[in-house]
Amino acid sequence: MSSSDTENGVSFEIDSETELILENLDRFIEQEIRPLEADLDDVLENPRVGHEDNGRLTDDYLAAIETVRKKSADAGFYAMNMPAEVGGSGVSNVTWYRAITHVFSKGLGLNEHVLAGPEGPKPLLLLADEDQRETYVEPVVRGEKSTAFAQTEPVAGSDSPAMETTAEKDGDEWILNGQKQWITNAPYADFAQVFARTTPQEEAGRYGGITCFIVERDKWELGSFNNTPAAVGMQAELRFDDVRLPADRVLGDVGKAFYAAMDFLSLGRLELGAQAVGLADYVLDRATEYAREREAFDRPIGDFQQISSQIARGRAKQYAADSSGLRCAWKMDQDESVVEDTSIFKWFATQTYWEAADSAVQIHGGNGLSEDYGFMEHLNYARLLRIVEGTDELQLNTIAKQHGLLESQ
């Protein structure tokens, strides 16, 4: 393990297995991903080319993403953090963390889809029974199907227990009604993990009475695309109108899905923070290169303290964020509680990426605003990361509660 128990405490040395994975990822990206990106050059360079009028990804763009996912799964990378019994490799959280930061240190592009994101398998799916694993989980691990985590609603974002989607028992079936919003991969998912209240709060309590259902694509109505500058075509609304589901579509225990979802969110926050660490490294590298080459007043702009200090502050924070992420991943591998740790890491890492992207724009001046340089895409994506998987404010509230504050909430 990259960061594990030793006689002297925690080691941050990259172990040989992880180092080999990172080297193989480099080769995979160069040999399999870069040629696909070259074929999609206009699509990746101009965000308007790769989308239809409503925001949906064009067929060629979507096909490229699916190709990356399948090739990565075949190579053993895509869901390597999942247990071997469902087709993964069972790598440690530390190795998974290092892999994500490494892949995203190469910037934004098709490499974003090499490792499983919200469309891929997560711990919640490990609650699946044998038949569900064969039908849903294993195909997602193999990159043959994709999924969506459908919890957020128009009236319930950070306050997810306030969800209004319901499922009522009718004989051997459940009748699902409601609406979900901002659901990543909703337009393309083969099935969704849909959260619904099956027992009123008055009876089950705030966090009880919520059940997760496996809902196949032909059972929902796709609403409008929730297009944002950083994720055009990737999020949409799902609507359920008297959808009948057999009892075998319940994932896990009836009424206990909220608690199971918290495990997903902890890993999700580690993964998004890892993305932020890798992307901060990328934009800071680009800004440093530009500061060395760009001249003003007869010298490189990096010789001006106002420029060099922006990069130095970004480097210091990226270093600290990376250290925080490794600590989080290590504690997860030790089966220790990471409620506070993942909130600290997700908040700090995404803030660091946001500030680094903003500095990169500023250092590049007018060029930083141009689509030709791509830094505004990073600024938009950094802004998105500060909201999904728990807003900045929610992370800070979680940290405060771990220290006995906000007890009235």
Q: Give DSSP secondary structure letters for 94-107.
A: HHHHHHHHHHHTT-
Using CA atoms, how far apart are residues 3 and 9, in angstroms rounded to an integer? 9
Contacts 24+ apart (CB under 8 A), 236-239: 236/183, 236/186, 236/187, 237/179, 237/180, 237/181, 237/183, 237/186, 238/148, 238/150, 238/179, 238/180, 238/183, 238/186, 238/192, 238/194, 239/178, 239/179, 239/180
Q: Which amino acid is at 378?
A: H
Is residue 176 a contact partner of residue 165, using CB atoms and an 8 Å limit? yes
Residue 19, number of CB atoms within 10 A of its CB: 14
Residue 377, number of CB atoms within 10 A of its CB: 16
Active site (annotated) includes residue 144: no
Pick the catalytic residue: 112, 119, 271, 389?
389
Using CA atoms, how far apart are residues 168 and 28, in angstroms rounded to an integer? 47
Using CA atoms, how far apart are residues 31 and 37, in angstroms rounded to an integer? 11
Find the DSSP H helices in 29-160.
34-39, 41-45, 59-75, 93-104, 130-132, 138-141
* Of residues 109, 182, 110, 175, the one with CA closest to residue 378: 109
Which H or E run includes 370?
Answer: none
As a whole number of Å, the end-to-end CA separation of the chain is 39
Using the CB atoms, write b or e for 209-245: b if 16+ within 10 Å: bbbbbbbebebbebeebbbbebbbbbbbbbbbeebeb
Catalytic residues: 389
